[in-house]
């Protein structure tokens, strides 16, 4: 019976994904350029986003010329199918310095579905004295390629929806990937700035019926020796998987925290599968984390966990000019 229910959910998700993509061509897009020198359609990124029609139903590709853009960006919920692309993650930077509330402080907030970001640095310069979110993703079907996401505490608020991060660099010290999304991080680097008591993830799954969690596949963890754990439970059924991931000596021997609530040790799902490096030694891991078998790890080792085959789209190859 449980298997039938899971199958029905997957079918419904698949139908939803198909409905979301029929309105757009995967190879054609409206091209908008952002250039601080004035040679593009707009000088500021938010101006380009504002120019997209509400209830948009076609792909919009916003090409951002290199530079440091001091802006607080919001992609509103009524503007799906937008791609924001720099040329290299290291030379196209969006930065702000707000702190405090996790929903108000982000430098960059994605509220629209079917969003893509490529080759951008997204940074919050708030500092080390509190929460300063660089990127908030509160929408379904969002993908990030070759991006750098930088802050100190709560760097990436991976709030809800299905998300894919590929070849991204994510930096922070405390709970620097947090939220209740269903997300696959593939070939990403996670860099801890913590000298001690650092935590990479704070996943917020609240019940076993929620199909959410963070999977890190083929990633690399770096940072100062011994000061960081792999995660702690924001929600009682927090779920985080690391597979085929290099763990440097930045990872503490115990590996995981219970956030001073031993009751959560019985309900969290924290797993490791074929990880390697000095921080992957499980001989001193907390007893309530799991060394996964091949069969246990299989559901987390591909894009099926986020339904990605039906909504991840290629970069457009044909463009038409934006008309102001």
CA nearest neighbour of 114 among 17, 194, 200, 193: 17
35 carries an active-site annotation = no
Instruction: Say which residues have a Cβ less than 8 Å from residue 197's Cβ, sequence separation at least 6.
Output: 174, 227
Whether 147 and 120 have beta carbons less than 8 Å apart is answered as: yes
**CA–CA gap between residue 79 and residue 56 (Å, rounded):** 5
Classify 62 as helix, strand or coil: strand
Q: Which of 175, 225, 281, 295 is catalytic?
A: 175
Q: Distances from the Cα of 115 to the Cαs of 121, 226, 242, 268, in angstroms?
A: 16, 36, 25, 30
- Alpha-carbon 174 to chain mean position: 16
295 carries an active-site annotation = no
Query: Three-class SS string for 96-119?
Result: ECCCCCCCCCCCEEECCCCEEEEC
Whether 303 and 184 have beta carbons less than 8 Å apart is answered as: yes
Instruction: Say which residues have a Cβ less than 8 Å from residue 83's Cβ, sequence separation at least 6.
Output: 29, 59, 60, 61, 62, 115, 116, 117, 118, 315, 316
Return the residue matching tokens 């229910």.
Answer: 5
Instruction: Say which residues have a Cβ less than 8 Å from residue 151's Cβ, sequence separation at least 6.
Output: 123, 124, 126, 132, 133, 134, 171, 172, 176
Q: Which of 17, 41, 114, 154 is catalytic?
A: 154
Residues annotated as catalytic are 154, 175
């Amino acid at each position: 019976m449980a298997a039938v229910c899971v199958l029905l959910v997957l079918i419904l998700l698949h139908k939803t994904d198909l409905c979301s993509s029929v309105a757009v061509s995967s190879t054609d897009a409206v091209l908008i350029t952002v250039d601080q020198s004035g040679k593009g359609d707009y000088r500021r990124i938010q101006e380009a986003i504002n120019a997209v029609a509400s209830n948009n139903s076609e792909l919009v590709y916003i090409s951002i010329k290199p530079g440091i853009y001091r802006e607080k960006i919001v992609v509103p919920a009524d503007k799906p199918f937008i791609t924001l692309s720099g040329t290299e993650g290291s030379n196209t930077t969006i930065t702000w310095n707000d702190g405090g509330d996790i929903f108000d402080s982000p430098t960059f907030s994605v509220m629209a579905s079917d969003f893509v970001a490529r080759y951008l640095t997204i940074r919050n310069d708030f500092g080390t004295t509190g929460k300063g979110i660089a990127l908030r993703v509160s929408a379904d079907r969002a993908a990030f390629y070759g991006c750098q996401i930088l802050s100190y505490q709560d760097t990436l608020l991976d709030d809800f929806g299905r998300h894919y991060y590929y070849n991204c660099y994510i930096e922070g010290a405390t709970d620097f990937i947090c939220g209740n999304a269903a997300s696959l991080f593939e070939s990403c680097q996670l860099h801890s700035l913590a000298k001690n008591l650092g935590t990479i993830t704070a996943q917020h799954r609240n019940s076993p019926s929620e199909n959410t969690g963070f999977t890190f596949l083929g990633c690399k963890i770096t940072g100062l020796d011994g000061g960081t754990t792999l995660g702690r439970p924001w929600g009682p059924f927090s779920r985080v998987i690391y597979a085929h991931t290099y763990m440097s000596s930045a990872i503490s021997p115990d590996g995981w925290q219970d956030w001073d609530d031993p009751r959560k040790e019985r309900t969290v799902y924290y797993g490791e599968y074929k990880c390697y490096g000095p921080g992957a030694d499980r001989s001193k891991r907390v007893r309530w984390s799991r060394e996964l078998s091949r069969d246990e790890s299989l559901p987390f080792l591909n894009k099926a966990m986020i339904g990605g085959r039906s909504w991840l789209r290629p970069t457009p190859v044909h463009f038409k000019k934006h008309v102001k």
